[in-house]
Amino acid sequence: MKYKDILSDICGLVVLPIIAAVPLLLCGVTKYNYTGILNLPGVRPWAVGLGLFYGLMIFLLLEDLHHAKTNVAYIVLWVLGILTPYTKGSVVGQFHLLFGTVGTIVLQLCLLPLWHMDKTITRMYACTCLLAIMIVITFCAVTGLAEIAYAVPLPILLTLLKIKKDRRTGQ
């Protein structure tokens, strides 16, 4: 195993889940979601930096697993969603919601070709999505808890798929 692969695996299994969870846990998982944290004064530069790093690393994991044009569309929408501030009722806020919604759909399209690799990981991903959807329905809003339920397992599952693929190809 190469040094780069070890760092990538550590990042996907440890660093990205921590980056996904800690800001929300510190600010309150039912009070704020990532958008709310991005709008907090004094926190925005850190939140933008961590959000861009998280999105870039997910993009690199996707590229490691499957090269597709949808991966590029995902990272563009992720960056636009992070950089577009949300203000309730404003046109710019509506663009933020548009980028987030379309970005989520594109991410699902990016992930679709990967799930044939391992049935167990596919089931875990389906449970992750179901849990996040149930939290959204329970709170009638996208809360930080729902975002944690989705954003923490995602890099772990993608990294496990990458490890399985590397073992299968002998890298």
In this structure, how many other beta carbons lie within 10 angstroms of the beta carbon of residue 163? 16
Q: What is the pLDDT of residue 136?
A: 95
Model confidence at 77, pLDDT cuts 50, 70, 90, reads very high
CB 81 within 8 A of CB 93: no
Q: What is the pLDDT of residues 128-152, one digit of tens each?
A: 999 999 999 999 999 999 999 999 9
Please answer whether residues 118 and 82 qualify as being in contact, where contact means their C-beta atoms are separated by less than 8 angstroms. Answer: no
Alpha-carbon span 163 to 135, nearest angstrom? 30
Where would I find the H helices in the chain? 3-10, 16-27, 34-38, 44-65, 69-83, 91-111, 119-139, 144-151, 153-169
What digits encode the pLDDT tens for the residues 81-97? 999 988 888 999 999 99
Entry pTM:
0.91
